[in-house]
Amino acid sequence: MSLYSRILPGPVDRHMLVLHGLFGSSDNWQTAGKLLSEKFTVHLLDMPNHGKSGRTDEMAYESMARAVAQYAGKAGPRRFHILGHSMGGKAVMRMAQLFPDLIEKLIVVDIGVKAYPPHHDFVFDAVNKIDLSMVTSRKEVEDAIGHEIADWTVQQFILKGLTRNTEGGYEWRTQFDILEKNIAHILGTIGAEVVDLPALFIAGEKSNYIKPEDHEGIQKLFPRAVFAGIDAGHWVHAEKPAELAGVVLEFTES
């Protein structure tokens, strides 16, 4: 499957691929991406079933990794720095396991290697209650989402996936139906292959996705992993884009 990308120009000889998380899109990473483009040409990718990338029933991490590797092959014969957040973080870990020769350094933002328990039912429930065929304005959807989901940040990530269709109505670019069917895979583990690449794992310190007790399991698969923390929740790139970019660039330039 081909993946849509937003390319932020930077040095022509250094490239970074950025993969967003569940319910997100390349658009979510533009602020942090512009800061990273001081040192890299930055490719902000839309993951399958998100943003402007295509619809597919397959959401296993191996298929995501292969789609990213296919994009990397089209982008040119070079090694990439590659960064992924949450679901995108597991996708870049799997890509490192399958295609290590494509990668210079690996950056994973607020996700570990372990499986996570289900915790997105409230999002699927909120979206499933909305009949877009009856919607006449974006505000109707905003109000409906706001009624079901208290967290404003979560609301905004979900609403990024709402767009106009060719008939003048509304549709979701985020394929919630497929994501709901595949959520067990998305929350699951990656492969067991050990990866001998420099790797940085960044935790949102107000999040619980990467805890100190997770470090040992991460280093079993990524023995060269180092760890950093940022005073933010799970959406580190939205809350602290400058601090995140600074930590990433310190790692890539070292």
Q: Would you please indicate which residues are annotated as catalytic (active-site) residues?
A: 86, 234
Domain with CATH 3.40.50.1820 in the chain: 5-115+188-253
Q: Which of 239, 220, 247, 251 is nearest to 29 (CA)?
A: 239
Which residues lie below 8 Å from residue 19, measured CB to CB, with a gap of 6+? 45, 47, 68, 82, 83, 84, 85, 87, 88, 89, 91, 92
User: pTM above 0.85?
Assistant: yes
Strand partners, 107: 83, 200
Tell me the pairing of strands 41-45 and 5-8.
antiparallel
Separation between Cα atoms, residue 157 and residue 171, nearest integer Å:
15
DSSP 71: H
Q: Report pLDDT digits (tens) over 188-229.
A: 999 999 999 999 999 999 999 999 999 999 999 999 999 999
Class level of CATH domain 5-115+188-253: alpha beta
Strand partners, 202: 109, 228
Say if residue 136's pLDDT is above 80. Answer: yes
> What does each C-alpha distance from 64 to 59, 156, 242 come to in angstroms?
7, 24, 28
> What was the pLDDT predicted at 167?
86
Instruction: Give the mean pLDDT of 139-156.
Output: 92
> What was the pLDDT predicted at 164?
92
